[in-house]
Amino acid sequence: MRRTVKTLDDLIAEGVSGRRVLVRADLNVPLDGSRITDDGRVRASLPTITALTGAGARVVVAAHLGRPKGEPDPAFSLAPVAARLGELLGADVALAGDVVGESAKATVAALTDGSVALLENIRFDARETSKDEAERSALADDLAALVGADGAFVSDGFGVVHRKQASVYDVATKLPHYAGGLVLAEVEVLRRLTEDTARPYVVVLGGAKVSDKLGVIANLLAKVDRLLIGGGMAYTFLRAQGHEVGKSLLQEDQLEQVAGFLAEAEKRGVELVLPVDVLAATGFAEDADYETVPVDAIPADRMGLDIGPRTCELFVSKLADAKTVFWNGPMGVFEFPRFARGTNAVASALVESDAFSVVGGGDSAAAVRLLGLPEDGFSHISTGGGASLEFLEGKELPGVAVLES
């Protein structure tokens, strides 16, 4: 974060008692019906919210959940989040029935010093994600009006700072703006991965699609010492090397790009490490039968759902001497216990390592919690997978850049 950015501490020092403060948080949690299956992002929002309530602010939280189509959808209501946030705060959190309408106005008006209200899913308003700057600006005006003339804006949702959206970017042009502790911490950690990084620097990438990580791979090949590739994306790399991958996830349209990465890694002296064996399953199911096979012998009627035991050993050995590690993306279908061993092996190696280790949000962070690994075993667990990747690609993050103005 640049020194010109005002922080949450600056805002509190200026005085917030009795003032309404709009906080953009990232509360986009996974749900099973109405049950939150991983409340990590809710817990990550607590320090900023409690700092403000402790100083007497009237806190108005804006957040999104899922991908509603710009209109109210009960399936994406923030009601479960409001309930969980209230439990963690030990105080009721009022949930507005709309984003900036009459319910939101009444809910915010009823706030008292040190209390918290949550606006309904910000993406229920189509203007939030509009490409039309005037439409986003109009929603930002409505948000600013909710907190009034002496209001302020705190950006604390790192998971959305790579989006130029009304509650992330435009509202910061309408109100005095400050960086929350979560955004500050995230940016400082990611800068450590791009500036004066302790070596060996190892990056572990997994997840389903290589197309999601083209930019970050291209940028990292100029920075890292070693790149470990697992998950569904590994099969496109294996196919580019000439291996048959059966029914495994394959992006044929990315083969040329991936072949280029393999050549570039060799040219730069970057050790690009791919699986040597996989768990080849009969289908995509929790109880699917599987066999462990070398990557050059994947049966035509099977699909790889996890890295194999030899690959686990290989990856762990390649992490052993690392001084800095960034990990984004599971090694297999970790939601299915029999296909979680690869992800568990990598994560456990990082817990045991003395390296500066960063878990790049998203499914990787969810896997840490699902597998029951100690979160304090990692140097940092990011709350924003997409934002982390775009930062490491070298892209400007609009929601951070606007705070520097």
Q: Give the pair of three-digit tokens for residue 284.
A: 């995509």
* Residue 123 annotated as part of some ligand binding site: yes
192/190 Cα distance (integer angstroms): 5
The answer to whether the CB of 228 falls within 8 A of the CB of 315 is: yes
For the chain, give every domain's residue range. Answer: 8-184, 197-393
Identical fold between 8-184 and 197-393: yes
* Residue 350 annotated as part of some ligand binding site: no
pLDDT at 212: 87
The answer to whether the CB of 236 falls within 8 A of the CB of 210 is: yes
pLDDT at 360: 87
324/204 Cα distance (integer angstroms): 11
* Residue 113 annotated as part of some ligand binding site: no
Q: Where are the alpha helices (DSSP H) in 195-340?
A: 214-220, 234-240, 255-268, 309-319
Instruction: Identify the CA nearest to 60 among candidates 123, 15, 122, 12.
Output: 122
The pLDDT > 70 percentage for the chain reads 99
CA distances (Å), 138 to each of 36, 61, 100, 135, 193, in order? Answer: 32, 18, 11, 5, 37
pLDDT at 2: 45
Under CATH, domain 8-184 is a member of which superfamily? Answer: Phosphoglycerate kinase, N-terminal domain (3.40.50.1260)
pLDDT at 276: 98
pLDDT at 1: 46
* Residue 219 annotated as part of some ligand binding site: no
136/170 Cα distance (integer angstroms): 7
Residue in this structure with the two tokens 């995230």, named with its chain if needed: 186
49/58 Cα distance (integer angstroms): 10
Q: Please give the positions annotated as active site.
A: 41, 209, 362, 386
Instruction: Identify the CA nearest to 379 among candidates 401, 360, 398.
Output: 360
**pTM for this predicted structure:** 0.86
Q: Give the pair of three-digit tokens for residue 43.
A: 């817990």
318/11 Cα distance (integer angstroms): 45
* Residue 361 annotated as part of some ligand binding site: yes
pLDDT at 384: 81
- Under-70 pLDDT residues of the chain: 1-3
* pLDDT tens figures, 153-208: 999 999 999 999 999 999 999 999 999 999 999 999 988 898 889 999 999 999 99
402/161 Cα distance (integer angstroms): 10
Answer yes or no: CATH 3.40.50.1260 is held by domain 197-393.
yes
Within 10 angstroms of residue 148's Cβ, the number of other Cβ atoms is 13
pLDDT at 3: 52
- Identify the H or E element spanning 178: strand 177-179
pLDDT at 244: 97
* Residue 27 annotated as part of some ligand binding site: yes
- The four Cα atoms 247, 250, 256, 262 give a dihedral, to 10 degrees, of -90
